[in-house]
Chains A and B, each alone.
Chain A
Amino acid sequence: MPIEVVLLFAWMLVIAFLAFIACTFEDLESDMGSQSNPNSQVQLAAQVGQVNRFFNKAISGEPLSNAMYCVTAGTIAWLLLRQFEPLVPGEEWKAAVLAIPIGVLAATMMNVIFATTAHCGRVAGQKRFEQPIYLDVLYGHLMPIGAHAFMTTFCITVIAYIQSNLGTLSGNTALNHPFALPLLGFIWGITVGAIGSSTGDVHYGTEREFQDRPFGEGKRVVYHGKITRYAECGVRTQKDIAGFCAKFGGPCTGLTFGLIILFENWRSMVGMQLGGFLPALPVFTATGDMAAIFAIVLGLLIVAALMVGNLVFVKWVRKKYGPFVGV
């Protein structure tokens, strides 16, 4: 197999690994700041008399806020790359080593500013419910939020950088993705947020937020707002929650995004290989069409496998857990 093709597959695996890390930290960042869907309960808690020490950072939906951070980081990195790359001809990667962290740092600072204003604004609005703004909660959570957000944005920006330079990195510039770095950052920012919001939140919202309620049932409407306020030791803050969700919810969410990135890139590249498109790249020919057809067939197989997998899994869970027996 030509070295270009091997490098292409190797970079694909690097991207999938980074996607796993990115989405794991994205979910934990949303748990750490209580962003997204389960935050409705934190918001409701004070209103039903449950004064709490939770961080309340509902900046916006996770996809949109993550897209904003990733586009900010991507744009700054892209501008810096244009400035730095001519300074190191032949060794452009050196420019990336400097430009990407600077861009990500700027996006992280934005995140921390938004977290501060969102928390103070929301909790100040709950004054009539006697919910105080605990300053130690505010100060104590900003650094972990920023650290988690840095990891997410960094991994997404690196994915966008690799994808927009995939051809250059693997030896054939025609394989660079047609989208620019900031646009790829936007796409994966939206996707990582959508996945973190739809998958990882379940562990925080259904389990950790109501841990003093019976295990093994959906949380009833009468429980809403009555969140678990005490930790294993002392009063619960988000630091206890992120530690708990890092054991299952976070990695599962990371796996979701990692699998999506892996499947999507894998089927395209295997399609190119099977269609005879690599390494010569005869664009807009029957070979190109064949590569697309193979990729589509592989996609159909993946979807079919997931559908059968879900069918078997749901059947197994129903049999194992049985009907609802509570009151």
Chain B
Amino acid sequence: MILIVGCVVIGGLLASLGAHLLPVGGAPAAMGTATGIATGTVQIMLGAVLTGLFTAASVATFTDNLLLVSLSGALGATVMICVVMFMANVLYAFGCGVVPVSGRVEVDPITKEPQTAYKTPQTDGHGVPNVVFVSGTMGGFIGGFGGALMYYALLNYAHFSAGTAAVVAFSIFVANAILAAYNIRGTIEGFHDPKFKRLPKALVSSLAVSLLCGIVVVLATIILGGAL
């Protein structure tokens, strides 16, 4: 029982951390007015994690190793987010003639490339520059790992059926991703963004929600037994 709650709490915390690392540009990014992926935090996080869950569920049919299932889910989400970020850059470059540039830092912390000279005035950056790409990759990996970990715990420790385990893991994930979205309030570029410093508050809320979800899962397991 402690194992179930523990996995759900860790998965929830990883979901929150992953959501903060993703480069979310929201609606402004679709107009090239902000850096990052042109959609909301919850939406891109769910897209990535559900891709990871699909792979994790496939892998869980032939291995019962927690680490392997979780890593498979993590890589599924990472592949999804990486392809999306790369293709977004292709669209920005060839479709709109826009150079990927960060609006939050003057120099890319990883490649040391200058950013300000390439930025359009009155915008908050555009495209997916390298530091943002790395942060997004980390976010996808961590979020995907969290989602797959919860799926594994619900499948093997709580003995839910595969479908129920996926729906419950996904639901707990959504709650944590929405909390992260409230904390981010709009756009975030990743770990180098000043907004990333708000993370501890989200982690505390996420801990509370995930703990509650873990207890509900345990109660459901005890009361309903193997009926799920």
A residues touching B (Cβ–Cβ < 8 Å)?
A: 36-38, 40-41, 61-64, 174, 177-180, 183-184, 186-187, 190-191, 193-195, 197-207, 209-210, 215-222, 224, 248-249, 252-253, 255-256, 259-260, 263-264, 267-268, 272, 277, 281, 283-284, 288-289, 291-293, 295-296, 299-300, 302-303, 306-307, 309-311, 313-315, 317-318, 321, 323-324, 326
Q: Which of B160-200 contact A (CB under 8 A)?
A: 162-163, 166-167
Docked Cα-Cα span, A295 to B74, in Å, equals: 12
29 contacts between A and B (CB under 8 A): A36-B39, A37-B39, A61-B43, A177-B57, A178-B163, A187-B53, A190-B47, A198-B47, A202-B91, A204-B30, A205-B30, A206-B32, A217-B97, A218-B119, A218-B126, A219-B33, A248-B91, A252-B90, A260-B83, A264-B79, A267-B75, A281-B62, A295-B59, A307-B133, A307-B134, A314-B129, A324-B99, A324-B120, A326-B120
Docked Cα-Cα span, A300 to B93, in Å, equals: 26
Q: In the complex, which residues of chain A have a beta carbon less than 8 angstroms from the beta carbon of B3?
A: none
> Taking the complex as formed, is B76 at the interface, i.e. its CB lies under 8 A from any CB of chain A?
yes
Q: In the complex, which residues of chain A have a beta carbon less than 8 angstroms from the beta carbon of B16?
A: none
Contact mask B118-155 → A, CB, 8 Å, 1/0? 11111101101110011001000000000000000000
| Listed residue (B29, B31, B53, B120) with the most chain A CB atoms within 10 angstroms of its CB | B31
Interface size class of B (residues with CB under 8 A): 35 or more
Docked Cα-Cα span, A224 to B76, in Å, equals: 36
Docked Cα-Cα span, A288 to B129, in Å, equals: 38
- Asked whether B120 lies within 8 Å of A217 as measured between CB atoms, the reply is yes
Contact of A206 among B30, B111, B125, B137 (CB under 8 A): B30
- Asked whether B133 lies within 8 Å of A195 as measured between CB atoms, the reply is no
- Asked whether B78 lies within 8 Å of A183 as measured between CB atoms, the reply is no
- Asked whether A199 lies within 8 Å of B79 as measured between CB atoms, the reply is no
- Asked whether A187 lies within 8 Å of B50 as measured between CB atoms, the reply is yes
- Asked whether A218 lies within 8 Å of B39 as measured between CB atoms, the reply is no
> Interface-forming stretch among B7-15, B63-71, B210-218?
B63-71
- Asked whether A292 lies within 8 Å of B59 as measured between CB atoms, the reply is yes
Contact of A198 among B38, B78, B122 (CB under 8 A): B38
Docked Cα-Cα span, A37 to B31, in Å, equals: 9
> How would you classify the secondary structure of chain A's contact residues: helix, strand, loop or mixed?
helix
| Listed residue (B26, B30, B113) with the most chain A CB atoms within 10 angstroms of its CB | B30
- Asked whether A252 lies within 8 Å of B95 as measured between CB atoms, the reply is yes
Docked Cα-Cα span, A64 to B163, in Å, equals: 19
Docked Cα-Cα span, A47 to B207, in Å, equals: 42
| Listed residue (A197, A216, A326) with the most chain B CB atoms within 10 angstroms of its CB | A197
Give the nearest-CB partner of B129 in chain A. A314
Given known A-B contacts A187-B54, A292-B72, A263 and B83 have beta carbons under 8 A apart:
yes
Shortest CB-to-CB span from A29 to chain B, Å, is 16
Docked Cα-Cα span, A283 to B43, in Å, equals: 34
Given known A-B contacts A179-B163, A194-B39, A248 and B94 have beta carbons under 8 A apart:
yes
Q: In the complex, which residues of chain B have a beta carbon less than 8 angstroms from the beta carbon of A318?
A: 99-100, 113, 118
> Taking the complex as formed, is B82 at the interface, i.e. its CB lies under 8 A from any CB of chain A?
yes
Q: In the complex, which residues of chain A have a beta carbon less than 8 angstroms from the beta carbon of B119?
A: 218, 324
Docked Cα-Cα span, A292 to B152, in Å, equals: 14
